[in-house]
Each structure stands twice: as structure tokens, then as C-alpha cells.
Structure 1
């Protein structure tokens, strides 16, 4: 389905932040890898987290869920042999489970999104698993693929961090379960280091011991460990909230988002500091973020590697800022559900924004007067692109029609419901 976004002068009201997708998928996985029963309070419900739910159950976990919590009895280090797994369009879920699949005899990962996840590369993780004696049959580093494992041994592993930190996370979930100790060396410039911090945080909560160098270039993982069954509480999600906060920043607004911890290790928490630097009236007290927007923003420069999943929302806000904004160190945006530099900027240009593309930079020449709109937008099946383009549509002179906007459900199924509750003029159309 498509969404039509019409110009909206003002937003007001209060919503609760979505539960974190990144933490939910990690907690679901460590609960499945534990022997015993774990409880996860306030897990996210989205296509990505549901993909993890589905796959861990296929691998032998037992999951019972109500509105407040998920209760999971894990399979430990002995996942069930299954013929195939379908991760949908969830790249992180695929990569995490490529590691866990090494504990089974053979798993075939199907390719149900050939125009999105099916285009994304996984070569660096395939190479690393090969160093553990795991055979991977693949198509140029992409789906579909078959993993033949069984009894991988620990040892010395080298993995590139140049494209994605998810390859390293996959190894960090797997190697504690192997018989021997492992040493992981990361080559190149590791992307999204802050997300590795989240992985290590969850592993520690699950009772796993890992020794990491300060720069995350080397890891020593004792083998023969066991995940412990625990109780977890999922925190509020900054990546999804970033788009709502950006929407409040570019309009006349009085919007509060609840349950966003100022102490969170989510890198996308930087949206708070970025909006403040753009001179948006904003307070963050008692887990509540309140934006009293006046539609006036100042341009800035920002290192986007620390907050990958909030960059598109930041760029959307910068479209309406005074002066020029520069978001640098963002090349890994090219390896997401779509090329979030080339594809996103093409659609922004179509809407009337003035933007420039570099290999690892996005440059925005602000238009405080707003953009023309009045066009149909291709969001490239990408939830982050859909959310960010919606922000732009609120300040366009003419409506924007965003194609296939239902793919927002990958991470934030309630996104348009929340915006409408705040007063946004958005409408679903066939």
C-alpha cells in the first residue's frame, strides 16, 4: 500500500517510544541459546523481530507470549536440524543466524526479498565461517545460501569490519559455544562500533565472558561456555523515534516521546544532541524527550557512523535547515535494504530538496522555505527511507505519495498511526 503525506503545520501530543528492535532481536537470540526458560519484557513487534521469533522456533525454541512479555525455553548449543529458514527481509537476523546455523548439519536460507536483502553482500562473514571449517554454498556472497556446519572448532578468526558490524556480532554469538577458545581479529575500519557495544552488553547479561580490546579490533572468547536463562527488559527504540523527533523539529510542535533512556547505549541517541545542535527547542528529562518545534533549524556537520539508523531522519530535518549540513563517514548506508545514499538522495531531489552525494558523505543545502513535493516517491522497500521521506512530506507545498509504504512494518508498524495521533495529515491508499 502507498501513503499520501500532506502538508502539516503543527504536531502535538505524547506517545510511548517503540521497544528497541536491536535489543529485542538480540535478547530473543540469547534466550534461544540458553538452556532453560528466559523472560523478555516489552519485546518489539515488527517484521524483523518477528523473523527472529519465527526462526528460533524453527530451530527448536519454545516461545509463549502475551501483551507484556515473551517467555522462551531455549535449545542451548543444540539447535534442531531444519531444512530451511526464512528471515524475510531482516539482514541482522540472517547474519546472526548464519553463525548459529554452523551448529547444525545443514540449513538452507531462502531468498524471499530478491530486490532488497537478496542484493546485500555477506562475503566477509562467509569467509570468517570458512575459517571455522563451515562450508557455505552461496550466490556471489548473497542469498539464497546453504550452510553446512556440524561441529565447528574455535581458533583464530579474521573478519572485516568495513561493510557491517553484524558479521562480527554473528561470530560473538557463536564462538562462546564452541569447544576451543577463539581469537577474533577485526580488519579494516569497523563500522557501527556502538552496535558492537550493544551486542557485548547483551552477551554479558546472558552470562557470556568475552575479552575485548578497547578499540574492538581484537576479541578473546573462551570456549565451552553456556548461555544462562535470564530475565530481560527491552528499552525504548531511538532509531524509530528519530524520525518522529525530526518530524516535530521541522513543524510547529509540542511533542513528547516517553521511555527513551538518556543512558542508553544506542548510538542513535545522538539524535537528541543533533537536534539541539540544530537549535531545536528540546528537553530530555525522566526518560521523556519533549520537542517544542518552531520549524527553524540550523545546519551542522555530523559523523554518522555512530548513529547509522538515525542518519536519514537527521538528513530529512537538515533539508529545511538554514545553511549547509554535512553527514560524513556514512558509506555503510549503501549496504542496507537499499543504497541509502544514492537511492534516498534521488527521491529527496525528486521532492525538491537540494542534496549532494559523495561516496561516504551526504551534503544537504537547506531550504528553510520548504520543498515543492507533488510527486510520487519510490522508497525502495526500505523502512528508514519511508520514515524519513514522510518527514519531508510534512513540509512540502504539495502532497508526497510514498510507494509501498507498508514496508515501514519492518521496524515500526505503528509509525503512521503514531504520526496521525500527533496530528500529521497522512492517508493510506491502495
Structure 2
């Protein structure tokens, strides 16, 4: 389905942030890897987290869920022997489970999204798993991928971090279960280090011991560990909330978003700092971000590597700043559901934005009086692009029509409901 985003001068209201997708998928996995029963309170519901639910159930976990919590009886170090797994369009779920299914004899990850996840590379993780004795069949590092495992070996493992930190996280989930101790060395630059911190936080909560160097480039992982059954509470999601906060920043607004912890380890928490740097009137106290937007923003320069999933929303806000903004160290945006630099900026230009790119930078020449709009936008099936373009559409003179906007459900199914509840002028069209 498509959506029309019409000019919206004012947003007003409050609601609780969606539960974190990143934490939910990690809690679901460690609960499945535990021998015993775990409880996860306030888990996220999105296409990504639902893909993890589906796959761990296929692998032998028993799930029972109500409106407040999900109770999971895990399969421990013995996942069920299954022939196929469908992760949908969820890259992190695929990569985490590529490692975990190395404990299985023969599993094929099928390709349901050839134009999105099917194009994303996984060669760095494949090479690391192959060095551990896992046989893998693949299409030049892409789906469909067959894992022929059963007896992966620990020891000295090397993995590149230059494309994604998810490869490293995948190995951190697997190696504690192996008979051997492991030493993991990260090659090249490690992207999105802050997300590795989230993985380590969840692993520690699950009773796993991992010794990490301060720069996250070397890890010592004792083998023969067991995941412990625990109770977890999922915190609010900064990546999804970033678009809501950016929308409040570019309009006249009085918006409160609850359940956003001040001390969260989510890198996208930086959206609050960035908007403050842009002189957006806001406060952050007791888990509530309160934006009193006036539509006036100053330009910034920002290293986006630590806040990857909020950068597109930051760029959307910078489109209306009074001056030129630069977001650097963001090359890994090119390896997401789409090329979130070239593809996104091409669509912004259709709406009238003045933007440039280099291999690892986004440069935005702000237009504080707003954009012309009046365009049909291809969001490339990418939930983050859909949300960011919606922010831009609120400040266009003419409506934007965003194609295939239902793909926002990958991470934030209620996004347009929340925008509408705040007074955003959005309308679904078939």
C-alpha cells in the first residue's frame, strides 16, 4: 500500500515508545539458547522480531505469549534439525541464526526478498564460520544460504567488522556453547560498535561470560558455557522514535515520547543530543523526551557510525536547517535494506531537497522555508527510508506519495497510526 503525506504545520500529543526491536530479537535468541523457561516483558512486535519468533519456534523453542509478555522454553545447545528457515527481510535475524544453526546438520535459509535482503552481502560471516569447520553453500555470499554444521570448532577466529557488526554479534552468540575456548579478532574497522555493546549487555544478563578488549577488537570467550533462563524487560526503541522526534522538530509541536531511558546503550539515543545541537527546544527526564518544536533548526556535523538507524531521521531534520549539515562515517548505510545513501538522497531530491553524497558522507544544504514536494517517492522497501521521507513530507508545500509504505511494519507497524494521532496529515491509498 502507498501513503500520501500532506503538509502538517503542527503536531501535538504523547505516547509510549515502541519496544526496542534490537533488544527484543536478542532476548528472544538468548531465551531460545537457554535450557529452561525465560520470560520477556513488553517484547516488540514487528516483521523482524516476528521473524525471530518464527525461526526459534521452528528450531524447537516453545513460545506462549499474551499482551504483556512472552514465555519461552528454550532448546539450549540442541536446536531441532530443520531443513529450511524463513527470516523474511530481517538481516540481523539471518546473521545471528546463520551462526546458531552451525549446531544443526543441514539448514537452508530461503530468499523471500530478492530485491532487498537477497542483495545484502554475508561473505565476512561465511568466511568466519567456514574457518570453524562449518560447510556453507551460498550465492556469492548472498541468499539462499545452506549451513552444513553440527560440530563447529572454537579456537582462533577472525571476522571482518568493516561492513557490519552483526557478523561479530553472531559469533558471540555461538562461541560460548562450543567445547573449545575461543579468541575472536576483528579485522579492519568495526562498524556500529555501540550495537556490539547491546549484544554483550544481553549476553551478560543471560549468564554468559565474555572478555572484551576496550576497543571491541578482541574477545576471549570461554567454551562449555550454558545460557541461563531469565526474566527480561525490553526498553523503548530509539531508532523508531528518532523519526517521531525529528517530525516534532521540523514542525510546530508539543510532543512527548515516553519509555526512552536516559542511560540506554542504544546508539540512536544520540537523536536527542543531535536535536539539541540543532537548537530544538526539548527536555529529557524520567524516561520522557518532550519536544516543543518551532520548525527552526541550525545545521550540524555528526559522526553517524554510532547511531546508524537514526541517521536518516537526522538527515530529514537537517533538510530544513538554516545552513549546511554533514553526516560522516556512514558508509555502512549502503549495505542495509537498500543503499540508504544513494537511494535515499535520490528520493529526497524528488521532493526538492538539496543534498550531496560521498562514499561515506551525506551533505545537506538546508532549506528552512520548506520543500516543494508534489512527488511520487520510491522508498525501496526500506522501513527507515519510509519513516524519514514521512518527516520530510510534513514540511512540503505539496503532498508526497510514498510507494509501498506498508513496509514500515518491518520495525514500526504503528508508525503511521502514531503520526496520525499527533495530528499528522497522512492517508493510505491502494
- What is the DSSP-based 3-state SS (H/G/I as helix, E as strand, rest coil) of the residue aligned with 2:103? coil
Partner of 1:411: 411
Measured after TM superposition, the shift of residue 32 of structure 1 is 0.1
Partner of 2:192: 192
Distance in 1 (CA, whole Å) between partners of 2:387 and 2:153 is: 43
Measured after TM superposition, the shift of residue 259 of structure 1 is 0.5
Partner of 1:359: 359
Alignment RMSD, CA only?
Answer: 0.3
Measured after TM superposition, the shift of residue 153 of structure 1 is 1.4
Distance in 2 (CA, whole Å) between partners of 1:15 and 1:389 is: 21
Partner of 2:90: 90
Distance in 1 (CA, whole Å) between partners of 2:155 and 2:395 is: 55
Partner of 1:256: 256
Q: Does structure 1 residue 208 correspond to structure 2 residue 208?
A: yes
Q: In the TM superposition, what whole-angstrom CA distance separates every residue of 1:375-426 from its partner, at most 9, and x where no partner exists? A: 1000000000000000000000000000000000000000000000000000
Q: In the TM superposition, what whole-angstrom CA distance separates every residue of 1:87-140 from its partner, at most 9, and x where no partner exists? A: 000000000000001000010000000000000000000000001000110001
Distance in 2 (CA, whole Å) between partners of 1:343 and 1:221 is: 39
Partner of 1:162: 162
Q: What runs of 5+ residues in structure 1 fail to find an aligned partner? A: none
Partner of 1:21: 21
Superposition misfits of 4+ residues, deviation over 6 angstroms:
none
Distance in 1 (CA, whole Å) between partners of 2:351 and 2:313 is: 15
Partner of 1:140: 140
Distance in 2 (CA, whole Å) between partners of 1:113 and 1:12 is: 37
Distance in 2 (CA, whole Å) between partners of 1:318 and 1:154 is: 46
- What is the DSSP-based 3-state SS (H/G/I as helix, E as strand, rest coil) of the residue aligned with 1:183? strand
The alignment's TM-score, normalised by the length of structure 2, stands at: 1.00
Partner of 1:180: 180
Q: In the TM superposition, what whole-angstrom CA distance separates every residue of 1:262-300 from its partner, at most 9, and x where no partner exists? A: 010000000000000000000001100000000000000
Distance in 2 (CA, whole Å) between partners of 1:217 and 1:190 is: 7
Q: In the TM superposition, what whole-angstrom CA distance separates every residue of 1:143-201 from its partner, at most 9, and x where no partner exists? A: 00100000111110000000000000000000000000000000101000000000000
Q: In the TM superposition, what whole-angstrom CA distance separates every residue of 1:206-250 from its partner, at most 9, and x where no partner exists? A: 000000000011000000000000000000000000000000000
Q: In the TM superposition, what whole-angstrom CA distance separates every residue of 1:298-340 from its partner, at most 9, and x where no partner exists? A: 0000000010000000000000001000000000000000000
- What is the DSSP-based 3-state SS (H/G/I as helix, E as strand, rest coil) of the residue aligned with 2:113? coil
Distance in 1 (CA, whole Å) between partners of 2:364 and 2:324 is: 6
Distance in 2 (CA, whole Å) between partners of 1:391 and 1:16 is: 19
- What is the DSSP-based 3-state SS (H/G/I as helix, E as strand, rest coil) of the residue aligned with 2:377? strand
Map 1:227-238 to 2 at 5 A: 227-238=227-238
Q: What runs of 5+ residues in structure 2 fail to find an aligned partner? A: none
Partner of 2:105: 105
Partner of 2:267: 267
Partner of 1:389: 389
Distance in 1 (CA, whole Å) between partners of 2:239 and 2:96 is: 20
Partner of 1:343: 343
Partner of 2:8: 8
- What is the DSSP-based 3-state SS (H/G/I as helix, E as strand, rest coil) of the residue aligned with 1:102? helix
Measured after TM superposition, the shift of residue 15 of structure 1 is 1.0
Query: What is the aligned residue count?
Result: 430
Distance in 1 (CA, whole Å) between partners of 2:184 and 2:154 is: 10
Distance in 2 (CA, whole Å) between partners of 1:32 and 1:196 is: 20
Q: Does structure 1 residue 293 correspond to structure 2 residue 301?
A: no
Measured after TM superposition, the shift of residue 356 of structure 1 is 0.2
Measured after TM superposition, the shift of residue 2 of structure 1 is 0.2
Distance in 2 (CA, whole Å) between partners of 1:153 and 1:178 is: 7
The alignment's TM-score, normalised by the length of structure 1, stands at: 1.00
Q: Does structure 1 residue 427 correspond to structure 2 residue 427?
A: yes
Map 1:115-130 to 2 at 5 A: 115-130=115-130
Partner of 1:282: 282
